[in-house]
Chains A and B, each alone.
Chain A
Amino acid sequence: MTPYIMFMTKSFTSQLAYRSDVWLRLLGNYFAILIQVEIWRSVIGKGESFGVTIDQMITYSIINTLLVALLLHGVSGKVDGSLKSGSIAVELIKPLSYPLYLLSDALGQTLYKFVFTVIPSLLIAWLLFGMLPPASTVSLIGFVAALLIAMLISFLLGYLVSLLAFWFMSHFALSWTLGGLITIFSGSFLPIWFYAPGWEFAARMLPFQYLGYVPAAIYLGNMSQVMLWQTLLIGLAWIIALLTIVQWLWSRAVRRLIVQGG
């Protein structure tokens, strides 16, 4: 077993200790979906809006609520904790790549959430609100690919914030800002097609749309085939760009590292 797979399993199993959490999360997701469904029912009614039916909008809301739950990881919180307690020293003396170590921990959490939150929530939502199947096989394949891209971009953004925290010694304000940007530009609450042209352009130029709008739009078949592959390629380009930035930042950040508490 490689150490990274071990860290992933460890992070997965350590989540099992909080079993009552599972029920609360299911309840939380149920309410989040319910509220959005009610809003869209009153906005769209039985007809169509911007060429989108109410059923599509409900599916969009379900996918996005579950994406938010899935992509939530504590990477910047984890790095912040190690920086403040000084336990980063212990992590750095091991023959491990620090980002891969963090990624495997995040993936363990994601896997746990997928099994214990997303799948049950999906079943509940499908039974109670109805959910459309993927538009086509291509949509389904594209959706899975978009999901993987979303997970990597979300991790890299969190890691980016935690590296910036080396300069500020606290990640809170940065994480808060990142959260705000994701809420606005991912289109997870309000689909990008409702945006005014200026805002829509901004959202399409930024990586945040991959965390909400892109996977849902691909699932619903709102993109032409050409556009789908193009979008996925740009997503990969974003991953490469973020990786480069993160690598460079790390090389600068270690110089600023101060180990607290001797």
Chain B
Amino acid sequence: MDIIAANHLTKSYRQYRRFPGLIGSVRSLFTRQFTEETAVNDISFTIGEGEAVGYLGPNGAGKSTMIKMMTGILVPTAGDIRVLGAVPHEARKTNARQIGVVFGQRSQLWWDLPVTDSFDLHKTIYQIPETKFKQNLQMCMELLSIHEFVEKPVRQLSLGQRMRVEIAMALLHEPRILFLDEPTIGLDVMAKDQIRHFLRMVNRERKVTILLTTHDMKDIEEICPRMIVVNKGTLVYDGSVEELRARLGNERRVVIDFREDPGPLDMPGITLLQEEGLRKTYLVSRSESTVFELVSRIAARYPVEDASIESADIESVIRRLYRQLADEESIGRQIG
């Protein structure tokens, strides 16, 4: 059963043209020129219950707009979306009880109140029964180590502490889906790690469906087996992380330590990338032959001390994907 289904979903905004300067601002009063900005363009996908999906794309790709449509804040311009079997903006209140939302850049806590008060207010708003509330709070406080600052007013918390509280709060009413919009933005490595482990547990053990947007590929690698990549409003990839790596990461690096300088290698399918004395890094395109074969051929002909094969990390895979998209676009422009 699909818990989220988007079908040819589109959201566009009208942006009224403004003219610069004082005279321009007077002119803006009398003109109604506008451009139609399409933040989400004809996107379709489905997400099953219990999945963990990373939704990524460069800045301005329409990720936040998508989350806001799924949570019922924004109304789509065209197409339809169903979350928990209902149209989100129509069933906003009923759906709200079954979803948790965390905005990395916008706090849901009460700024002047201690953390505990925010939890209590949340309990009242969501009408959470006492025992269930205590249980969930206990679990979240322990796993996210919130105990140390639970009595402090929210405004005194560090960003990492605040983020942990936001995530805990989004889970107190036991939502079936958790939406996270850039939950690790601006956090240090330790805080990121803790949040990732926690979200992984929430998804794997408590079976909460997770959809998160991020710019940090480690978030995807640790939490989400599946990812959806969007660019300028359109969907460009939907599938597993491995598959994308196989599709784009068909190059590997080989680092070889030589006993003495072999000079330029006479070997097809490799290019020298970097040279630090006797340590040389080569780029190997996998289509030629298996990397392992190639390395053993080199070792047979040259004085090799040690060799290591590095696979492309997800970050460089994504970078390649974005670059490829930008290239395709500029070619499109030249033709059109």
Contact = CB atoms under 8 A, between A and B. Distances in A.
Interface of A: 1-3, 6, 10, 86-90, 92-97, 254-255, 257-259, 261-262
A3 B125 CA distance: 5
Given A3-B127, A86-B106, A262-B64, 14 more contacts: A1-B124, A3-B125, A10-B121, A89-B68, A89-B103, A93-B73, A94-B126, A95-B126, A96-B125, A97-B93, A254-B75, A257-B73, A259-B73, A261-B105
A148 to B, nearest CB: 26
B81 to A, nearest CB: 14
Contacts of B103: 89-90
A257 B94 CA distance: 20
Contact of B74 (A6, A95, A96, A257): A257
Chain B's interface: helix, strand, loop or mixed, by majority?
Answer: mixed
Contacts of B74: 257, 259
Contact of A3 (B13, B72, B94, B124): B124
Interface residues of B, number: 26
Interface of B: 13, 64, 68, 71-75, 89, 92-94, 96-97, 99, 101, 103, 105-108, 121, 124-127
Chain A's interface: helix, strand, loop or mixed, by majority?
Answer: loop
Nearest to B100: A93
A95 B93 contact: yes
A93, A97, A255: residue with the most chain B Cβ atoms closer than 10 Å: A93
- Closest 5 A/B residue pairs (Cβ): A95-B96, A3-B125, A93-B101, A92-B73, A95-B97
Contacts of B94: 95
Nearest to B93: A95
B124 A6 contact: yes
A92 B92 contact: yes
A90 B106 contact: yes
Contacts, number: 59
Given A1-B124, A93-B73, A259-B74, A87 B93 contact: no
Nearest to A1: B124
Contact of A94 (B13, B89, B96): B96
Contacts of A254: 75, 89
B106 A94 contact: no
Nearest to A93: B101
Contacts of A90: 103, 106-108
A222 to B, nearest CB: 44
A262 B13 contact: no
A262 B106 CA distance: 9
Nearest to A89: B73
Nearest to B99: A93
A1 B108 CA distance: 21
19 contacts: A2-B124, A3-B124, A3-B127, A6-B121, A6-B124, A86-B106, A89-B73, A90-B106, A90-B107, A92-B71, A92-B73, A93-B72, A93-B73, A93-B96, A93-B101, A94-B96, A96-B125, A255-B75, A257-B75
Contacts of A94: 96, 125-126
A93 B108 CA distance: 10
Nearest to A101: B125
Contacts of B64: 259, 262
Contacts of A258: 13
Contact of A262 (B96, B101, B105, B125): B105
A10 B111 CA distance: 13
Nearest to A3: B125
Contacts of B93: 95-97
A9 B13 CA distance: 38
Nearest to B181: A262
Nearest to A85: B106
B12 to A, nearest CB: 11
Contacts of A97: 93
A2 B94 CA distance: 16
A4 to B, nearest CB: 10
A87, A94, A257, A262: residue with the most chain B Cβ atoms closer than 10 Å: A262
